């Protein structure tokens, strides 16, 4: 006769070290620990960057709230006018995420045309900039409210059916925090922006108009969209350093729209194919 087999760590039963309940516990707390460490590393990195820019960031918190509000006004005006124009240009049926992505792009073009017009007539100041945003908001307000109601109905059922894993939510929150925090620093200013986008925008904002440069600067002969939209943000928040933050937040909205629009626009280009989430790869 043979005796009972010795118990091992991998044997089944409640005494197993790697039981299903213990594995779930390890995965849950391991994930939380990893996210906590990631948050600490992110906070430390941002503190190092912000500490290096301490002189730039001496402005009070209300100024940065004003910069955030400026970017939100830009996004709202672009979406409102873009959705209204898209309804006339493409009356066909589109998914709500496709309509939002294309509508924002169309609205930015309309916003750019308005800023350029203000610059040509010499009305690129705070009053003219805010009036332009208000007109674009009112132009598409009715259609925007209708789209938001449909969006809320469409996402309500989907939110109940699709629940994101805490890891996905945590990583997404960390990345958003990094992007927003990085936009508050001078490290977010790229080579092209420091060379001509921001200097040209400062000249437009200071003069309140879009005119050729008398010294014959070549880049001044072709006003680019980025410079004109930065100039709009600068005249809305003219405080030193905060005007750069407003311009950075406006550019941050472009980045967010580009990331969120990858899948919807890919679906449109492929003729409405259902699952194209691989496009984010």
Three-class secondary structure assignment of 35-46:
HHHHHHHHHHHH
State the CB neighbour count (10 A cutoff) for residue 259.
12
What is the C-alpha to C-alpha distance for residues 73 and 11, in angstroms, rounded to an integer?
62
Whether pLDDT at 9 is above 50: no
Regarding predicted confidence, which is higher, 199 or 38? 199
Is-contact 252 179, C-beta < 8 A? Answer: yes
**Per-residue pLDDT at 113 exceeds 90:** yes
Comparison of pLDDT for 174 and 242, the residue scoring more = 242
What is the pLDDT, as a whole number, of residue 263?
Answer: 74
| 42 vs 80, residue with greater confidence | 80
Cβ atoms within 10 Å of 278's Cβ, excluding its own? 8
100-109, 158-167, 263-272: lowest mean pLDDT where? 158-167
Please report how the helices 126-139 and 61-89 are oriented relative to each other, as an axis angle in degrees rounded to 10.
40
Token look-up 């050729």 returns 212
Query: Is residue 115 predicted with pLDDT exceeding 90?
Result: yes
Quick one: pLDDT band at residue 86, thresholds 50, 70, 90? confident
Mean pLDDT is lowest, of 121-135, 157-171, 216-230, for 157-171
**DSSP annotation string for 134-183:** HHHHHHTHHHHHHHHHHHHHHHHHHHHH----HHHHHHHHHHHHHHHHHH
Rounded Cα gap, residues 134 and 224, in angstroms: 23
* Residue 147, C-beta contacts closer than 8 angstroms, at least 6 positions apart: 83, 96, 99, 100, 103
Q: How far, in Å, CA of 14 to CA of 101, rounded?
A: 52
Residues above pLDDT 90, as percent of the chain: 26
Is residue 235 a contact partner of residue 129, using CB atoms and an 8 Å limit?
yes
85 against 183, higher pLDDT:
85
Tokens of 223: 């006003």
Closest CA to 66 of 248, 216, 245: 245
Q: What is the mean pLDDT of residues 260-264?
A: 77
CA dihedral over 95, 100, 105, 106, signed as positive or negative: positive
Q: pLDDT tens-digit profile of 11-21?
A: 444 455 556 67
Q: At residue 258, does pLDDT exceed 70?
A: yes
Task: Report pLDDT for 158.
Answer: 55
pLDDT digits (tens, 9 = 90+) for 26-68: 777 777 777 777 777 766 766 665 565 555 555 556 777 888 8
Q: How far, in Å, are 10, 182, 227, 243, 268 from residue 223 at the CA level?
A: 69, 27, 7, 19, 31
Q: Is the pLDDT of residue 112 over 80?
A: yes
Measured CA to CA in angstroms, residue 255 lies from 94, 99, 121, 249 at distances of 23, 18, 30, 10
Question: How high is the mean pLDDT of the chain?
Answer: 77
Which range among 69-73, 132-136, 156-160, 264-268 shows the weakest confidence by mean pLDDT? 156-160
The enclosing H or E element of 258 equals helix 242-260
pLDDT tens digit string along 215-235? 877 777 888 899 999 999 999
Under 8 Å between Cβ of 263 and 247? no
Token pair, residue 17, equals 């070290």
């Amino acid at each position: 006769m043979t005796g009972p087999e010795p118990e091992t760590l991998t044997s089944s039963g409640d005494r197993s070290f790697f039981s299903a309940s213990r594995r779930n516990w390890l995965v849950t707390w391991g994930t939380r620990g990893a996210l906590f460490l990631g948050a600490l590393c992110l906070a430390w990195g941002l503190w190092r960057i912000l500490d290096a820019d301490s002189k730039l960031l001496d402005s009070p918190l209300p100024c940065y709230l004003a910069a955030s509000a400026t970017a939100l006004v830009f996004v709202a005006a672009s979406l409102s006018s873009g959705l209204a124009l898209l309804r006339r240009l493409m009356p066909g049926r589109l998914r709500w995420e496709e309509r939002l992505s294309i509508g924002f792009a169309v609205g930015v073009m309309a916003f750019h045309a308005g800023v350029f017009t203000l610059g040509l007539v010499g009305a690129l100041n705070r009053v003219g900039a805010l009036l332009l945003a208000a007109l674009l908001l009112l132009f598409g307000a009715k259609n925007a409210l209708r789209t938001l109601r449909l969006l809320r109905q469409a996402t309500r059922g989907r939110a109940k059916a699709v629940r994101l894993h805490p890891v996905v939510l945590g990583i997404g929150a960390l990345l958003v925090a990094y992007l927003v925090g990085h936009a508050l620093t001078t490290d977010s200013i790229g080579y092209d922006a420091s060379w001509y986008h921001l200097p040209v925008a400062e000249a437009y904002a200071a003069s309140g108009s879009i005119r050729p440069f008398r010294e014959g600067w070549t880049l001044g002969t072709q006003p680019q969209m980025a410079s004109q939209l930065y100039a709009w943000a600068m005249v809305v928040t003219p405080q030193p350093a905060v005007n750069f933050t407003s311009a950075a937040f406006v550019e941050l909205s472009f980045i967010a729209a580009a990331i969120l629009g990858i899948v919807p626009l890919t679906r449109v280009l492929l003729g409405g194919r259902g699952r194209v989430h691989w496009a984010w790869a």
